[in-house]
Amino acid sequence: MHLLSPLRKALLAGVCAAATFVSASASAATLKVGYSDWPGWVAWQVAIDKGWLKEAGVDADFQWFDYSASLDAFSAHKLDAVMATNGDALVTGANGHKGEMILVTDYSDGNDMVVAQPGITDMQGLKGKSVAVEEGLVDHLLLLKGLEKAGMSEKDVKLVNTKTNETPQVLASGEVAAVAAWQPNAGQALHMVPGARPVFTSHEVPGLIYDTIVVDPQSLHDNRNQWQRLVGVWDRVVTYIQDPKTQPDALRIMATRTGVSSNTYKRFLKGTHLLTLSDDKTVFTKKDGLDSLYGSSAISDAFNVRYGVYKTPQNVGSYIDPSFVNAVK
């Protein structure tokens, strides 16, 4: 997942230009949090249903959105926080509403992939062929990484700019040799074209796509204790999902939230590497490379500027606040 398209960027810029008011929700006692159907964010449903947030003294209203709509709501100052990738946190900030990443829930560990036609077994097999991808989105970045690892570049393939939700149909049409998409679109492509296979996935570039909680700075200032307590609940969520004894119940809760079966959801969960707070302390260490939120976000920033998602490089460090994770003992 899941960056903003140029059109959405333009619309968002307009929204933010109009939103010269101070966030109406920033000082609200109830934390308004937007979340959507990525497994690392649906995981919060476990805490909600089990009553762990209330138990921790967190007064939070989790609001369910389509992903892009959640970013729009945050950009319009209708939310205190939104679940977003690190790349999208930069996009949202560059277009007017800057937030701070205070927790990384997970990284994509296979759910984003390049799916090729039958008979193509690796990225080298795409040389000289057409590949459908929504340009400027994170799976465009994934495709570039896959080409780079195969000793090629973007010049070695012909990009066909395609909406991500249309990639399954485009692959099935036979017009392209491969598509780059995230779940569930990637799974639909595999289902619609028997014999198709992933030739590169986010499993091969762990940390390229981090999934985070992005919080309005004013809300962080006004409600710091609540945000700290919310972060403190996260390990309980991860443990409940990963423990074989409780995982069936966790899958039931998450599957119910998203309207799929538990078995289907279990496959999605396998492509999502959940991070504990201990893991987060490592990820929040400032250094280059994909094993750091700083390093990964710097790569996303360079990609965003190169492909015109926004024009000016962002101060990546100003989007990251490790203090909440580090305060948990």
What pLDDT sits at residue 34? 98
* Res 193: pLDDT: 98
Using CA atoms, how far residue 16 sits from 21, 22, 217, 222, in Å, is 10, 11, 16, 22
Q: What is the pLDDT of residue 8?
A: 39
Find the angle CA(304)-CA(138)-CA(76) to the nearest 5 degrees: 70
Name the token pair of 129: 């062929």
Q: What Å distances lie between residue 74 and 53, 211, 220, 268, CA to CA? A: 21, 16, 14, 26
- Per run of 10 residues, the mean pLDDT along the chain (length 329 residues) is 40 38 52 94 98 97 92 96 95 94 97 97 98 90 96 96 92 98 89 97 96 97 97 98 98 94 91 97 97 97 92 97 96
Which pLDDT does position 138 carry in this prediction?
Answer: 86
Per-residue b/e over 142-171, b at no fewer than 16 CB within 10 Å? bbbbbbeebebeeebbeebebebeebbbbb
Helix (H, G, I), strand (E, B) or coil at 297: helix
Q: What pTM value is reported for the model?
A: 0.86
Q: What is the pLDDT of residue 115?
A: 98
pLDDT score of 152: 97
